[in-house]
Amino acid sequence: MKKYIWWICVGAVVLAVGAFLLGRFAFPNTLPALPAPELAEGQRGELGIDKNINEKTIDNYLNRSDAVYRDLRMLKDPGDYEAIGGDAYLSGFVRGFEVVPFPYIVNVTGLPEVVGDTYTGETLFTYENGLYNANYMESKDILAELFPKDKVIFLMCGGGGYSGMMKKMLVDLGWDASKIYDVGGYWYYDGENRVKVKRELPDGGVVYDFYKVPYHEIDFGKLERI
C-alpha cells in the first residue's frame, strides 16, 4: 500500500512539473482576451472613458506585451491653473504608463478663459475646421511610433479629458477604435501601481521627482516643418 502511495505522489509531481513546462514554453504568450471597448455610463461615457477598463480595473491589464500605455499629461502644464487653485505639475502616474504630452501632439482648444491658453508652442498637428493637419514631415511617423496601430493602446490622463481627445484623434486618423481604451483619470486611481512624483519636504516645500517618469520627448527643433 505504501509503495503505491509513493508512486502516486511521484506521478502527481511529474504531472505538475510537466504541466508547468508545457504552459511556460508551448504557450508562452497567451494573454487573456480583453473586453471590447464600451463607453461608461453618464458623463464619463461622454468623455469616452471605458466602462470595463478604467481607473478601477487597469491593474488587471498592465504589463501586456500586446499593448502600449500612454499618459497624455504634461510634466508641467503652462496654463494658469493657479487661477482655479491649481498645481500644474504631474504629481504621479501609474507604473507602466509612459508620458506623451497631448498638447505636443495637437493644439488644445476649449479651455476656460480664466485659465487662458495652455501650451501654445509647437505641435505635431493642428486641428482646424474638423481636420488634423500635419505641421512636420515626420508628424505622422512619430504618431505611429508613439501609438502603434498593431498594439492595444491604453490612454490615461488626469481626469479623462486629454485621453478622450487623443482617442478621438487617433480614430479620426484611421486607428482601430476597438483597440483603443480611454482608461480615464489618474486622480481616480487607487490601485497598487501608483508612482508618486511629488514629494513633500520636512520644511513644507515640495519637489517633483521627474526622473521617475518614462517620458517621450519630441524635439521639434530637429523636425522638418511643412
Chain positions contacting other proteins, by CB under 8 A: 40-44, 46-47, 73, 77, 79, 81, 83-89, 108, 110-112, 114, 118, 157-162, 165, 185, 187-188
Residue 165 burial class via C-beta count within 10 angstroms: exposed 0-12, middle 13-18, buried 19 and up: buried
Least distance to other proteins, CB of residue 211, Å: 20
Closest contact distance (angstroms) between CB of 49 and other proteins is 9
Residue type, 87: D
Instruction: For other proteins, give the closer residue by CB, 62 or 88.
Output: 88
Which of these, 30, 33, 49, lies nearest to 41 by C-alpha position? 49
CB of 83 to other proteins, least distance (A): 7
198: Cβ–Cβ under 8 A, 6 or more apart, which residues? 89, 91, 92, 206, 207, 208, 209
For other proteins, give the closer residue by CB, 84 or 137: 84
Q: For residues 98 and 56, give the distance between their C-alpha atoms in angstroms, rounded to a whole number.
A: 19
The span from the CA of 42 to the CA of 86, in Å, is 26
Q: Shortest Cβ distance from residue 98 to other proteins (Å)?
A: 19
Shortest Å, Cβ 61 to other proteins: 20
Query: Of the two residues 7 and 187, which places its CB atom closer to other proteins in the complex?
Result: 187
Q: Which amino acid is at 202?
A: P
